Structure 1
Amino acid sequence: MSGYGIEEHGAPYSFEYRLFFKNANGDYISPFHDIPILADKDIFHMVVEVPRWTNAKMEIATKDPLNPIKQDVKKGKLRYVANMFPHKGYIWNYGAIPQTWEDPGHKDQHTGCCGDNDPIDVCEIGSRICSRGEVIRVKVLGILAMIDEGETDWKVIVINVGDPDAASYNNIEDVRRLKPGYLEATVEWFRRYKVPDGKPENQFAFNAELKDKDFAIDIIQSTHAHWKALVAKKADGGSINCMNTTVEDSPFRCSTESANEIVNSMPPPCGGDCEVPEDLDNWFYYQGQ
């Protein structure tokens, strides 16, 4: 867990569910703003939002104080992704790199579209299924430029440095060579995962070609620069909540006591899970256009 802990409030798979983060001292922090982008030289932190093979669309709540993980809501319903043939839920450990922000006011030079207003997304390809809220150290391997309903939505391909095979993966071509078909499956997953909800296929820049490690790190550093402007109040974050406990010179920095008040105002730590939709394990076959 890289020295970070979690605390769940409300029942999972409910509108009230929140997963808060703590540092090594047990103080509440924001996973968006207070976990450093870098764990070591060329090694990044990743906050796991969705474990592999699960369906609940959990995400860092960018508009909530301290940005806990919660389940996304669309049209008044908790959001789940469908099982798209031949997959079950998400096909990687999915999450975000902290201290990054895809600025909706910045038009990306590569895609011609503005950012999606979230931390940059990450797909971790290692063999272990991670836990929701786990903070892991990852190597960047490449990146996919998805266009989601007209917004730039980068997907960074990484591997957990603790994976037994991590030493064999150093760039996107290593994934292509050692896990044949996985990158193609990744593109198709992102292309089609909203189709069961009645939406069109997603589009991609670069004709859906994945870019290499150096390109990916440049994009990550760009989103880190946008985040720095955000927490310094030099960029318009709109409804983004920038409350943090550690970012020096940030006007949004708060005390430990203030952070405690936020968490104490939430529903108590969770009991049992709520029921999930009866059709969650249904299989959606889509032949494509």
Structure 2
Amino acid sequence: MAGYSVEERGCPHSLDYRLFFKNDKGQYISPFHDIPIYADAGKDVFNMVVEIPRWTNAKMEIATKDPLNPIKQDVKKGKLRYVANVFPHKGYIWNYGAIPQTWEDPSHKDKNTGCCGDNDPIDVCEIGSKVCGRGEVIQVKVLGTLALIDEGETDWKIIAINTEDPEAANFNNIDDVRKLKPGYLEATVDWFRRYKVPDGKPENQFAFNGEFKDKQFATDVIKSTHDFWKSLVTKKTDGGEICCTNTTLADSPFCCDQASAAAIVKAAPACGDANPIPTEVDKWFYCQAK
């Protein structure tokens, strides 16, 4: 895990559950701002923060509006959010997470999609064989990207593989996924198209007719979101409600000391027993293909 660790606060499967991050010195950090974008810049290997392990349903995410940006569960209408199982899928079909130090600027209209960013770090679908743990920080090789248009916003989905995967050397571009994991890319489009349908929402749309773009395109997109993030943390861009509190960026006006960071964590509820997961989370939905 590259020396990173996590500290739980609150009760798992509750509204107050939080996962705070520490570096290899045991100091509190923001997974959004303090973990570097690159694991190896020369080889375009990126760090990925795993928010949601494969096969699970809880919609966990980096809390972009909270100090130190812990991972917490998304809430809709006062209830914890779980993604539905749309047959034949069970939960998320990849390890899902984000690349740190990236931000899809909601005021920037993407020239390729014609839509503005979704105000979050860029999303990653990691396709390796290992089921990762929530809060794990892994190093990934980027293979391509899908351009989801989610309720009118550009929401890039980076396809990547863990560099420690036994097969990682065989995957170098999006076509390798098509050849070596047949059906996986089609399932990925199907998953993103239909995952909100059980909630009464229409099917999602895609730029490029749902075609995947290659490694170079994906890498360029990541680098552009890194530039937007730099403007955010140096206050050149107004991030609105986004919380830029960090503990390592000396040139950021939002940098705070460890005592302040520790106080943020201490203010969160103490760790407690996990709540039961609602039984309806295991329900399967059957949607007619259009």
Structure 1 length-normalised TM: 0.99
Report the counterpart of residue 100 of structure 1 in structure 2.
102
Report the counterpart of residue 28 of structure 2 in structure 1.
28
Report the counterpart of residue 229 of structure 1 in structure 2.
231
Secondary structure of the corresponding residue to residue 45 of structure 1? strand
Once residues 67 and 197 of structure 1 are traced to their aligned partners in structure 2, the CA distance between those partners, rounded to angstroms, is 27
Secondary structure of the corresponding residue to residue 189 of structure 2? helix
Report the counterpart of residue 276 of structure 1 in structure 2.
277
Once residues 247 and 141 of structure 1 are traced to their aligned partners in structure 2, the CA distance between those partners, rounded to angstroms, is 29
Q: Deviations over 1:155-203 (max 9, x none)?
A: 0000000000000000000000000000000000000000011100000
Residue among 79, 95, 98 paired with 1:77: 79
Report the counterpart of residue 189 of structure 2 in structure 1.
187
Once residues 102 and 275 of structure 1 are traced to their aligned partners in structure 2, the CA distance between those partners, rounded to angstroms, is 34
Report the alpha carbon displacement of residue 144 of structure 1 after superposing the two structures with TM: 0.3
Report the counterpart of residue 148 of structure 2 in structure 1.
146
Report the alpha carbon displacement of residue 278 of structure 1 after superposing the two structures with TM: 1.8
Give, as a single letter, the amino acid of the residue that structure 2 aligns with 1:278: T
Q: Deviations over 1:208-266 (max 9, x none)?
A: 00000000000000000000000000011000000001112100000011101100111
Once residues 52 and 33 of structure 2 are traced to their aligned partners in structure 1, the CA distance between those partners, rounded to angstroms, is 19
Once residues 53 and 45 of structure 2 are traced to their aligned partners in structure 1, the CA distance between those partners, rounded to angstroms, is 20
Once residues 203 and 93 of structure 2 are traced to their aligned partners in structure 1, the CA distance between those partners, rounded to angstroms, is 18
Once residues 23 and 64 of structure 2 are traced to their aligned partners in structure 1, the CA distance between those partners, rounded to angstroms, is 19
Report the alpha carbon displacement of residue 275 of structure 1 after superposing the two structures with TM: 1.6
Report the alpha carbon displacement of residue 272 of structure 1 after superposing the two structures with TM: 2.0
Aligned counterparts, 1:238-253, within 5 A: 238-253=240-255
Report the alpha carbon displacement of residue 3 of structure 1 after superposing the two structures with TM: 0.7
Once residues 111 and 236 of structure 1 are traced to their aligned partners in structure 2, the CA distance between those partners, rounded to angstroms, is 23
Secondary structure of the corresponding residue to residue 146 of structure 1? strand
Instruction: Name stretches of at least 5 consecutive residues in structure 2 with no aligned partner.
Output: none
Give, as a single letter, the amino acid of the residue that structure 2 aligns with 1:7: E
Give, as a single letter, the amino acid of the residue that structure 2 aligns with 1:286: C
Report the alpha carbon displacement of residue 76 of structure 1 after superposing the two structures with TM: 1.1
Once residues 206 and 197 of structure 2 are traced to their aligned partners in structure 1, the CA distance between those partners, rounded to angstroms, is 15
Give, as a single letter, the amino acid of the residue that structure 1 aligns with 2:253: P
Q: Deviations over 1:52-97 (max 9, x none)?
A: 0000000000000000000000111100001111011000000000
Once residues 12 and 110 of structure 1 are traced to their aligned partners in structure 2, the CA distance between those partners, rounded to angstroms, is 40
Secondary structure of the corresponding residue to residue 144 of structure 1? strand
Once residues 193 and 288 of structure 1 are traced to their aligned partners in structure 2, the CA distance between those partners, rounded to angstroms, is 13
Once residues 4 and 240 of structure 2 are traced to their aligned partners in structure 1, the CA distance between those partners, rounded to angstroms, is 28
Once residues 87 and 106 of structure 1 are traced to their aligned partners in structure 2, the CA distance between those partners, rounded to angstroms, is 33
Give, as a single letter, the amino acid of the residue that structure 2 aligns with 1:23: N
Q: Quick one: percent identity of the two aligned structures?
A: 74
Report the counterpart of residue 164 of structure 1 in structure 2.
166
Report the alpha carbon displacement of residue 277 of structure 1 after superposing the two structures with TM: 1.4
**After the TM superposition, which of the residue ranges 54-63 and 274-283 deviates more from structure 2?**
274-283
Report the counterpart of residue 288 of structure 2 in structure 1.
287
Instruction: Name stretches of at least 5 consecutive residues in structure 1 with no aligned partner.
Output: none
Residue among 109, 120, 123 paired with 2:122: 120
Report the counterpart of residue 268 of structure 2 in structure 1.
266
Aligned length in residues: 288
Once residues 148 and 12 of structure 2 are traced to their aligned partners in structure 1, the CA distance between those partners, rounded to angstroms, is 29
Secondary structure of the corresponding residue to residue 116 of structure 1? coil
Give, as a single letter, the amino acid of the residue that structure 2 aligns with 1:34: D
